[in-house]
Structure 1
Amino acid sequence: MSLFKKHPLDLPAAVIAGGAAGIVSGLVKLGWENVLPPRTEERDATNPPQTLLEQFGVPAKVTHATYTYAGHKLPWVSYVIHFGFSTTFAVLYQIVGEKLPLIKKDAGTWFGLTIWIAFHVGLMPAMGTVPAAKDQPTEEHVSEALGHIAWMVTNDLVGAEVYRRLVAEKHK
């Protein structure tokens, strides 16, 4: 049995499917964090996307810019980073997963956990964006690990279905 799929990749369909999946999964991850918040209110006053941008020299007046909806001030800059991350990894997952199905094992559960470990346990603590993994509360690890699983399973399900439909449309 080959590690790689032999069928041709429909790259435009994979990009569209991954993009659609990334938007939906980004909404799922935001919803998840409302049910199981990963950070304390104090640590969320400047959230990781805002902190990261500030580390790159973007001023706080930009990183904390908001829009108001239904009386709530919402951090649009954080959302740009959140959905940019989500769609980038969803597109990558869709493209690579079409050729290397191993990354889609268990509906992307392991890929999601790998992304969580790489970013929340490794890269962001190393950059000082979030505290070292040992200094993060258990609740943060639980929320982020389970949230990354829910996020990637959503990418897997939505991306696969959109890709299937787009490819089928081309073969009618």
Structure 2
Amino acid sequence: MSFFNHHSLNLPAAVLAGGLAGIVSGLVKLGWENVLPPRTEERDATNPPQTLLQQFGVPEKLTHATYHYSGHALPWVSYVMHFGFSTTFAVLYQVLGEKIPAIKKDAGTWFGLTIWVAFHLGIMPAMGTVPSIKDQPKTEHISEALGHVAWMVTNDLVGDEIYRRLVAKSRQ
């Protein structure tokens, strides 16, 4: 077995499949966080996407902007960041995974854990967006690690199925 997959990549199909998978997996990750919240209510008062934007100079008035649905004030800016991250990495996973199958080992479990380590244990603590590793509660590590696995396995399943269908349709 070769490290690289030598079949031709249908890039438009991979991008569309990854984008759609990223939306679905973003919903899965939001649901996951409702069952196992990664942060305390106090730390969620300004969540990591809001903190990151504020670090780049976006005013709090915008980062905390909400829309209302069914009596709830929902943070639309956080959702834009959440789904932007989810779809970006789902597209990257789908495109790279078609050319380098090792990326998709164990249905994306290792890719998801790698993203968690890179961002939640490396980049965001280094930037001061979230506390240092030792100052994050164990419950946050558990929720985020398992949530990233569920997120990426969803990307793998949904993205692969959509890609397979799009490629089959393009051959008809």
SS state of the match for residue 73, structure 1?
strand
Alpha-carbon separation, structure 1, partners of 2:134 and 2:120: 11
Cα offset for 1:123? 0.2
Match of 1:123 in 2: 123
1:89 aligns with 2:89: yes
Match of 2:13 in 1: 13
Cα offset for 1:121? 0.2
Alpha-carbon separation, structure 2, partners of 1:155 and 1:124: 23
Deviations 1:24-61 (A, max 9, x none): 00000000000000000000000000000000000000
Letter of the structure 2 residue corresponding to residue 160 of structure 1? D
CA RMSD of aligned residues (A): 0.3
Cα offset for 1:4? 0.5
Match of 1:34 in 2: 34
Cα offset for 1:10? 0.2
Cα offset for 1:137? 0.1
Letter of the structure 2 residue corresponding to residue 19 of structure 1? G
Match of 1:132 in 2: 132
Aligned length: 172
Long gaps (5+) in structure 1: none
Long gaps (5+) in structure 2: none
Match of 1:2 in 2: 2
Deviations 1:7-37 (A, max 9, x none): 0000000000000000000000000000000
Q: Where do 4+ consecutive residues of structure 1 move more than 4 Å?
A: none
Alpha-carbon separation, structure 2, partners of 1:24 and 1:7: 27
SS state of the match for residue 7, structure 1?
coil
TM-score, normalised on structure 1?
A: 1.00
Cα offset for 1:160? 0.1
Letter of the structure 2 residue corresponding to residue 166 of structure 1? L
Alpha-carbon separation, structure 1, partners of 2:45 and 2:35: 18
Match of 1:47 in 2: 47
Cα offset for 1:144? 0.1
Alpha-carbon separation, structure 2, partners of 1:34 and 1:101: 32
Q: Percent identity?
A: 81
Alpha-carbon separation, structure 1, partners of 2:46 and 2:33: 15
Alpha-carbon separation, structure 1, partners of 2:164 and 2:133: 39
Match of 2:157 in 1: 157
